[in-house]
Amino acid sequence: MKITAKEKAQNLTFILPALLLFTVFSLYPILRTFELSVFQWNGIDKDMVFVGLAQYKHILFDNPQFWSSMANAGIITALALTLQNGLALLLALLVTRNIKGENIYRTIFFLPPVLSGIVVGLIWKFVYDGNFGILNHFLSVIGITGFADYAWLGNIKTALFSVAVVHMWKGFGYGFIILLAGLQTIPVELYEAAEVDGADAWQQFKNITFPLLIPIFTIVTILTILGSMQVFDLIYSMTNGGPAGHTDVPITKIYQYMNNGEFGYSTAMAVIFGIVLLIISFAQIYASKKLNYNEK
């Protein structure tokens, strides 16, 4: 059946509002970002100096601080992928066993993600404080000495890990909810049949739970990577990138350059960072499809 021009126009009216919103709030900002990245501009003056790819070249080959911030973000992401998501999976498995008060646990576990990042950062900054912090006081109470005035956020050896702990504490609730939803879609009959065949808990997890959760793992992994690589509010409120840049991540570096009036340079840095995240996401999707194919 041939669609008439009138029917095509009518169909277009249904998608036109969404298309306009996408163009105004997504496509145009992306194109504008690419445009600004090839100009040297302080964000105020009308004059913009065209520099081509010079800023990209400087970021890639002559700015070790940017790559250091990428490494910091990578460390936070690696910890989140392993410890944070591991904890989320463990708690989701426990809650699916119909333990008493499971609804209360769901609420408690999902509470940290909905809290303001700035507020959480300020509270944990107080917890980590070397002079009157709760953490040092707690360690002293349980008999662990030597931390009476230890500055967790001021020491280059512990600052990044301390921030990562807060990030994982705040973010594990998202993974918990998604994994819990995925676990509840697995038919109970599969586990009952496995028990009849003599499969223990590990064999059930290996042969039933894990293969069926691969698509869910992909979603959680991608969200974890994107969220961890772009963490800003916690670092800004807790350390502001210190000490000596040891907790800087790409977003904080972009913010710092923008504050210094280097809008073109910070925009170029944002483009590079966005491309890195895009490559990581596609690589994760590809790896997940290969793993899912091999499981089949």
Res. 248: pLDDT tops 80: yes
In a domain, 15, yes or no: no
Comparing CA positions, the residue from 162, 182, 177 lying closest to residue 112 is 177
User: pTM to 2 decimals?
Assistant: 0.87
The pLDDT confidence band at residue 6, using thresholds 50, 70 and 90, is: confident
In a domain, 7, yes or no: no
Please give the residue range of the domain that contains residue 197.
Answer: 54-295
| Separation CA 170–CA 248 (nearest Å) | 19
- pLDDT of the residue at 144: 82
262 with 54: CB under 8 angstroms?
A: no
Res. 39: pLDDT tops 70: yes
Tokens of 185: 């879609």
In a domain, 8, yes or no: no
In a domain, 96, yes or no: yes
Q: How many domains is the chain partitioned into structurally?
A: 1
Comparing CA positions, the residue from 240, 243, 109 lying closest to residue 170 is 109
In a domain, 43, yes or no: no
Residue 205 per-residue DSSP state:
I
Helix and strand counts by DSSP (H, E) for the chain: 16, 2
Contacts (Cβ under 8 Å, ≥6 apart) of 148: 136, 140
Helix (H, G, I), strand (E, B) or coil at 50: strand
In a domain, 141, yes or no: yes
pLDDT mean over 5-34: 86
The per-residue pLDDT of the chain, averaged, comes to 88
| Separation CA 118–CA 113 (nearest Å) | 12
Comparing CA positions, the residue from 296, 275, 283, 140 lying closest to residue 207 is 296
In a domain, 221, yes or no: yes
The pLDDT confidence band at residue 292, using thresholds 50, 70 and 90, is: low
In a domain, 34, yes or no: no
Mean pLDDT lowest for which of 65-79, 143-157, 263-277? 143-157
CATH number of domain containing 219: 1.10.3720.10
Amino acid at 147: F
